[in-house]
Amino acid sequence: MDTTPPVIQAKIAAEPVKLPMLPLLIAVVLGVVIAVSTVGGGVYFLLRSGKLPVQTMAVPVAPAVAPVKAHTVALEPLLVNLADTSGGAYLRVALTLEVTDLAGVKEEKNSETKGADKDPNAALKDTVLTVLGRQASNTLLAPDGKDHLKQELKTALSEHNSEIKVIDIFFTEFLVQR
């Protein structure tokens, strides 16, 4: 009982169906948001409860560097002739060396010096006197003379006394006489 003429039915079938785009787009976006939040919430719950095992990559931890233990070695005042052309200049200096603690070196020195009356700082004094004897009064009295002397002493002490690591040098007395 179709009362529409066949020509009209063919026209209706040939025309595309127009769906409203905006409501369809909103429905798709809303569906994606609900699906993602549901899955994300489920994964979050499983992770927090511990029911979902997660393998984490272990980051290697750098070993903590212990602070360097140091002690000071005070050298008695030294008197040395300077290398001036006049030959009459001298230096009176007292030094305190800040050196690192080396357990093995300390034990060896203590075992060596128990029986004899040896000066444990003899090698240090010899090196310091050698460096000081090469100095001239003009270079020592220059504005950066003491700093330059400290660097020379550190270098010489590290070369001649390799078992001792000098961190810093302090002048407790410093007198140049011309």
Token pair listed for 107: 């034990």
Domains of the chain, each with CATH number or no CATH: 6-49 (no CATH), 70-177 (3.30.479.30)
What is the structure's pLDDT at 32? 95
- pLDDT tens for 126-164 read 999 999 989 888 888 888 989 999 999 999 988 888 788
- pLDDT tens for 21-58 read 888 899 999 999 999 999 999 988 888 887 777 777 77
Smallest CA-to-CA distance from 79 within 10, 152, 135, 133 is with: 133
Cα–Cα distance for residue pair 98/165, rounded to 1 Å: 9
Give the DSSP H/E element, type plus range, for residue 17: none
Instruction: Summarize the confidence of residues 166-172 as an average pLDDT.
Output: 90
Query: Count of alpha carbons within 13 Å of 173, Cβ hemisphere only?
Result: 12
